[in-house]
Every structure is written in structure tokens, then in C-alpha cells.
Structure 1
Amino acid sequence: MKEADSRIGTPCCCGSAPREVRCESCEHSVPFCWSCWVEAHRHTTSHWAQVWDSERGFFVRHDISTVLNNKTFAIPLGHEGSDCPNSSNPLLMTLVRVNGVHATRVAFCGCASRVSKWRQLFDANLFPATCTDPQSAFSFDVLNDWHISTLQGKTSAYDFVRKLRRLSDNVFTGNVPDPIKQFMFVARIWTLLKAEKRSGKAYLGGMNILNPSRPKDTVQVLCPICPEAGVNVPPQWLQKPPALRHLYSQHFCLDGNMKLINYGKKNYSHDVSLFAGRVYMAEESSFKHYLATVPQIQKDKAICNHLKVVNSANRAKFKNMSVTGVVTCQCDHGFIWSSVDLVRGEK
């Protein structure tokens, strides 16, 4: 909101240049000279710089790689923010952070003991869009922000990326790089990693060691309240009187949603599930094999014209659909235990 600063033009603390650059994110927004601002933000490279334009009389937003006058700055990797003596030539990358989309330069470590490029980005809390030759990356903060936004506010990935682009430039948004394709890919992997971490799969074999009765390799969140043998019920629960055994019973209900539909796609083979039956849905190939063994439901011929019209309407409604609805099984505490797609109307 502050469009001017009375400290602009005064001598910088280094005494070698005037104050011309301030930060949007730092508290107090103390102006610095070009070199001092970059040095002060060596470990906070995501902050936008506001550079004073003396000819036009207002601040202009810059990325950290374009702040230095007459030369460029590249974010150094591999040495915890310090410059690498054998760094590679600066590479222009698209870094997506919580405050927008940055077109910035990155210098990878070139030492003999260096790790791969994707690992250098990962060590800097940046998730690369590819492991071979990364050209774009997403900060862990922006992925966490999207994960909470989509769970709580049902924000789509498309709207979330558009918001980030508008945070970069709310006027000429079309000039901001659009990383939606890379974001869709990274977001799916991030969701998988969050589920793996939450379920404890990376720690000493996961939760199957502590709870051997649960499905193997599952990463779903199971109800902590429902009675479960070996988890939260006494070992002698079978010896309880019949009048008290209801205390250790589980109650489930089925609920369906006929609006969760999906039309068949021609090029759908490359869209592979990363969970592969380890959460709520069954593994796709096993599910299709089961459907092939289920006999077709025989329908009696309708003798009423009204019923014939209803049957015709249902066939037209679900035409060209691969999924005609979803049914879930959940306990009385609101935790979903399993789900299944409907493929023939409400069957």
C-alpha cells in the first residue's frame, strides 16, 4: 500500500550507494542499495524486490535475479546459499512460490562431490517438475498451501495457479509463465508423498507392524474410534458377556452420489493412478476383472408405458459414461473405509 518511501535516495548503510530497493515481504521494508538488498536476501530469494524508478516516480517489481544494476544474480545451490566456486552457467528457471511465479536464474553446484540437479533443488525446498533436466520447480510452501486449499476450500489446481499468476502481475497476467501442466504433475506426486508420510510407510515398515490386522500397504486414514482387535479393544473382549459385546461392534453405512460421473476418454491409458488400490478405490485392473465375471442383470420386460419411458431416459442419461456414480462405505464416525465406481447407472 505504501507507494513511496522518504528514505529512497538517502545513503545506504554500506555508504557506497543510495537506497533504491525495498522488500515487499520483510517487516519494516527498510530500503537498501542494490548490492546490500541482494546480500540481505541470499536466504530469502522468494521475496519480491521493489526498485524505485526515478524517471517514472514509482516502484517496479523485480525478481532477485534482476535486482543488481548492470549485472544479474543467480540463486546458488549446493552450498547452503553461498556461491559455488565451480558453479554452472546460470539457468533461467520458473520457480513457483507462495507469492507468485518467478522467472529467475539458478546456478547449480559444479563441484566434484555435487549431487544431481533435482537433488540440489530438493535440498533448497524446491520440488522439480522433472528429474532429468528440470526447467521449473515448486516450493514446498506453495505445495502445502495448495494441499490445504484444495481439501478445505475445494480449490482446483487451475484456479490456484491462476491466483499465483495474478499475484505476480495482476494487470498483464498473460505475460506471466503458466506452469499448470507441471503443477498438475507435481501436485499428484506431492499428494502421494503426504499420504505415504502420514501412514508411516517410510518408518520401520509402516503401520502394518503395529497394526497387522489392517490392509497391507494401505495409506488411508482409518477411524481411530471404531473398535479394532489388537488396536483399541481389550484382549479378552470375546469373553465379555453377550449383553456387552455391542460395545465392540462396528457400524457401517453405504451412501451413493449419482452426480460424480465421468465420461469415457479415448486417450486415458497414460493417466495412471499413483495409489494403485492402496487407499479407498480398488486397483483398476482387478476391478475390471471382477466386473467381467459378474453376470449381467436380467431385466423383466416392462409392460407399462411409463416404465418404458423411464428405462429409455436412464439409458440416454448414462450414455458414453465410464463412471455413472460413486458409492462409499463409511463408519458412523464419518470415516470412509472404501469406495467403488458405478458403471451401469445405479448398479
Structure 2
Amino acid sequence: MEFLWLEGQTEEARQSACVRCEGLEEPRPGDMTPLFRCQECFGGDNLCLGCCLDRHHAQPLHVVEKWNGLFFEKTSLMTMGMRVQLGHGSGKCSNPMLAPKSFTVLHTNGIHLVAVDYFLRASWYPMTVHYPATCATLQLLRHFHGLSLCSKVSAHEYYLNMERMTDNVRVVLPKAHTGRGNVEGGIDATGTGDLAIQCLACPQLGVNLPANWRSSEPALRHVNHNIFLYTLFVSVDANFCLKNHLRSKEHPTPGLHTGHVYFIPQDSYNEHILKHVSQADISSCSGFSALSHTDSKSNMGLRYTGVGMCVCMHHEMIRPSGVGNLQKGEQYCNMDFIVLSAISGTPVQSLMVIYNIACQCKVNFAKRMVELPPHLHIPSSVTLDFAIPKCHCPAHQTECQTPHSLNLKPGAGRTDGEGIERDWSMINPAANSTKEMAPGTRHDTLDDLFGYHNWQKTVGLDQSEHIIKLRLVEEERQEEQLSLTDRVETMVGFLTNALVLEESQYVVSYNSITAELMAS
């Protein structure tokens, strides 16, 4: 609740009172409505425009927000009218050099646009000697230097972090941003996976599927042609890099939101795993031997040997409650529970599971599903199909390839099914740090990383490879349409002229023959 309180105005601001103006002997000219607040200054007071500018005369790189009537949105001191005079202390330059209209400053709290009047003396390091338009503070350079020595971070990675701080999505506040403080029961009423960032393009009731989608006439009329609209495509895989050492007990160090985001609830999951302790690893066909040694993976001194994960195939976003720990190897009991948890409650007409050993996983899948909790069972009305990712498919036996080829699956399009492998490349760098963590801390850290990944995918959906290709295809289609229209118009004009000429010649010939006949 305190986090939600911080998102709104203070009591004084709601009464249209600026706390600094009240202490002035003479009223300040202009609007004194307290619409501004600073994220950096202590206290979080809401100030009027004049007081906010006065307070930040010597702090031009603070992050300021403005109340728009509904919430605080980011603004800048430059937008508010502040100009920064550099090199003369608190005085003004009698002959200032012309500076760019907006000057880019890289600082430890983000990237800023500042109006300056000319700066090395002010500890701002210019990017160029002549007519600079960008600079970095010496504080930032020292900060980067220390990090590069201790953590070997690259300049590019450091800059990406500054971008995130400039427009921070605040994934560290999932409970507040999913409205937990605005519902009855609050955090205690949070359900499984409720705090996860879901894929906006996957089928979601009330988002991109109407409430009556099953019985609606368009759905019934086009179900065979647009089956992909009502199909959930998920990809599953195991990762043995994200292991965890047996350092502490799980109960004294629980996760703060384990089970509410991407990791599945541990109690029901562990209870199911204990029933299948002696279960062998998933076997694979002889043509694909990459998993034939999973049973030989040592779990000596390890709490978990890795994780299993389920993502949406098309957009590579991690499914809510779609991640589970592996105790040893890649067993049916683990992977079945993870897949069914990730798709639980999703309203779809059909489901396609892409797995590098789908040819083995689908055998007796229905029988194994009966042993899981009832709420994880796939409804009988849902059509279930399995496929193998395109890069893995050629390694299988010949008889496995055709029935499981994504090239032959309705609605799959040209997706390769290997998106989860690309997700691992983003997650694996966290393996060294998380393997020594307590189980609860590890869950929270990885959940935060998964949320960051999903958010980056969400804001980049309109720039995804599929969308870019679709735009290019549409542009080419329009060009071809215009070209075809021009050709048709040219052809019609040519044929029209030819027909008119032929008809006129026919009329002349007809009239000539008629005249000769009349004369004779």
C-alpha cells in the first residue's frame, strides 16, 4: 500500500498548496499549483514550477515528474524552462558560446536532455572538442571505470543499463503494477502466475478473444482457415546451466513471490515429483542422442541440476508459471507438470507443444496427465498436437521427421520453433551468480530476469522480425498493386485505342462497300 501511496499526490498537493511557497514572505508570481516532484530529492514534496526550478539550480540532472491529473509522468528540467550556466559558478557568462538547443548528458541516473549556456570545469566531459552536443559526467566515468574493473562490464552493457534507468519499467514492483493494492484481499489474494507479464499476442480471453469466441459465427465460419488465431503454440526445453548448490534449507529462505510469477508453486510441484523419484529420464530416438546422457548428470552437492521452461513459440515470451526446477535430468514428471502449469486456464481450441523430443514425450502423455492435479488437465475439447523444432528435426530418425515437422503443421507459419534456445542465451549469463544463492533468493532473481525479458519483448513486439517482414510484404504488395494498376490502365488504353481504330477502319470500309453497291 505504501508503494501505491507514493504513486499519487501528497496531502498538501491535493489541497493545491506548495509547501515551499507557504514559507515565503511574499507570494511567488505565477502559477503556484504543486504539480512537480523530484525522484532524487529527499522528502518527495510536490512543488510548483518556480519552487522546483529554484531547488534544482545546482542539481540540473535530477529526474523530475509532473502530475497530469491521473498520474505522475516524466518531464525534464529543460522542458520546464531551466538553462544551465557552466563554468562561472553561480554567475552568468557575459559572452556565452552558442550551444545546441538540446544537450545530451550521460549520468549515473540515466540520459538527460539539458539546455546549457557553456564545461569541463563543471565536471562534464565532452564527447568532441569542437561544438560538442553530448557529454558524460565525471561521476559516471568513475562509476563505469570501477564496474569495468570489478565486473568486466562492457561500455555497451553499461549504456543499456542507463537506457533502462532513463525509462525504467520498474519490474521490481510487480505487485503494485498488477493492481494487487486495488483488489479485495490484496497480495494475499494473488493467484498463480498473476504477477507475470503475459504475451499480448497469445490467445487471452477478454484481450484478443471475445467472451463468446467458441460460439461466435465468425469463429465457426473461419476456424479452418484461421486456426492459428485459436491455437496456443508453446515451446518446451530444459536447461542444465541454471543449477543451484545445496547451501541452505529452503524453508528458512522462501521466495517473496514464488508461484505468483514465472516459477510454479513449489508445494504441489514437489509433492508430484516425490511420487516419481525413481522415474527414468526421457528417452530419445537413436537418431538424436543429445539427451542420451542426461541421466549421467551428477547431482552431487546440488539442490537443482537446472530448470525446465515453457515459452510461447511465436514471440519467445516466458509463460506464467512456466518454469520449474529439475532435481536430476529431464524427467517426464518435471516437464509434464511445467507444460501443463504454463497452459492452465488458457482458453484455446487447439494446443501445439514444440519439444526437441516430442516424438517420445507424446507417448502416454494422456496417461501421465491423469496423475497430475485436476486443474492442470487439458480439456477434452482441446486438440493436442506435438512438433519438433526445425534445427532439431533432421537429427531424429526419418520416421519421426515428417509427422512432427513444423513445415506441415496448420497455423505454424514459418516459425522455426527454436525461440526458447534464444531465450537461454539471455538467461544463462545469470547462472554463475544464481547457483550460489538460497532457493528463495534465486527464484526472486530469476523471476525478475524473466519479467525484464518479457517486458523487452512486449515493447518490441511492433519491431519484431515477423512484424517487420509483414510491413515489408505489405509495402511490396502496395508497390506491385500500383504497378499492376498502371500496367492494366496502359493495356486498357492501348486496347481501347486499337479497338477504336479497328472499328473506325471497319466503318470506313463498310461505308465504302455500301456506297459501291448503291452505285452499281
- Class of the TM-score when normalised by the shorter of the 2 chains: 0.3 to 0.5
The structure with more helix, counted as a fraction of residues = 2
Q: TM-score, normalised by structure 1?
A: 0.42
Larger Cα-atom Rg = 2
TM-score normalised according to structure 2 size? 0.28
